[in-house]
Homo-oligomer: A and B are copies of this chain.
């Protein structure tokens, strides 16, 4: 069918019988039932190596210092990356959308998933002189990206005034710094709060909400980050006056946003009548 898409789900939890494991399985089932092709990178099951090190560069002469940025570019362009990294790059290239499923540990992704990012998104593949400039929709452009995160603490602590910081700000390094940097279009994150010992009825509600988000994977409006080419000067600073009135902090990097009463960003929907009328 024409609407068939390819989705890569990257999952990072050591316990398959966890909430993260359940959400990964749920996403795979839902997406396949909708006619999509799905591949899963279950990082723990794969025994994914987290740390970038000299073993990542079999072609590197051992007598010179290892310059990771340069070695990544050289290995990427010369086909000298290790098979595990090449396999993941092939999956990302194959995909129309990437979903990262992880528990929030210390306000960011678990080390094993950070190691997937560090090792797979190489200079020459996801950024650098050999590909399109950052923040322009190039490099890995045409792909959608969704964070699905479980969080032990309560939602209020991640609101605008929450002690842990606003979720959008905590995830800015992923949403803007990884996805949008490489040209992917990030959607609003899907988060399950209070995820420790989640009661059955809240798990059911989380699945209903996740189903809604998965159905909107290719139709919901992405987070409207700005293009580097349009809105920034040569020093990569936002041009004076370019920000939307009333925005501050990291929100200055949004083209526009609708703000709900609690200050959270409302997910934009392509079928939302307010966007067409």
Q: Which residues of A contact B (CB under 8 A)?
A: 14-15, 17-18, 44, 48, 50-54, 65-69, 103, 105-112, 114-115, 117-119, 121, 134-135, 152-154, 156-157, 159, 161-166, 169-170, 172-173, 176-178, 196, 228, 232, 235-238, 248-253
A265 to B115, CA, bound (A): 31
A69 touching B152 in the complex, CB below 8 Å, given contacts A51-B14, A110-B52, A236-B163: yes
A67 to B65, CA, bound (A): 41
- Cβ–Cβ < 8 Å partners of A235 in chain B: 154, 156-157
A50 in contact with B236 (CB, 8 Å): no
A106 in contact with B135 (CB, 8 Å): no
Could you show 24 A-B contacts with beta carbons less than 8 Å apart?
Answer: A14-B51, A14-B52, A14-B53, A14-B66, A15-B67, A51-B112, A52-B110, A52-B111, A69-B196, A106-B121, A107-B173, A107-B177, A107-B178, A108-B173, A111-B118, A111-B119, A115-B115, A156-B237, A161-B238, A162-B236, A163-B228, A165-B172, A165-B250, A169-B250
Which of A105, A111, A119, A176 has the most CB atoms of chain B within a 10 A radius of its CB? A111
- Cβ–Cβ < 8 Å partners of A162 in chain B: 236-238
- Minimum distance in angstroms from A54 CB to a CB of chain B: 6
A119 to B48, CA, bound (A): 17
Number of copies: 2
Indicate which residue in B157, B165, B173 contacts A106 across the interface (CB closer than 8 Å). Answer: B173
B154 in contact with A236 (CB, 8 Å): yes
Which of A107, A109, A163, A248 has the most CB atoms of chain B within a 10 A radius of its CB? A163
- Cβ–Cβ < 8 Å partners of A196 in chain B: 69
- Cβ–Cβ < 8 Å partners of A237 in chain B: 156-157, 159, 161-163
Which of A51, A105, A178 has the most CB atoms of chain B within a 10 A radius of its CB? A51
- Minimum distance in angstroms from A218 CB to a CB of chain B: 25
Instruction: Closest B residue to A14 by CB, please name it.
Output: B53
A261 to B217, CA, bound (A): 42
A166 in contact with B111 (CB, 8 Å): no
A164 touching B236 in the complex, CB below 8 Å, given contacts A50-B50, A54-B14, A170-B173: yes
A249 to B162, CA, bound (A): 11
- Cβ–Cβ < 8 Å partners of A249 in chain B: 169, 248-251
A44 to B235, CA, bound (A): 34
- Cβ–Cβ < 8 Å partners of A108 in chain B: 108, 114, 173, 177
Indicate which residue in B14, B112, B165, B176 contacts A177 across the interface (CB closer than 8 Å). Answer: B165
B165 in contact with A253 (CB, 8 Å): yes
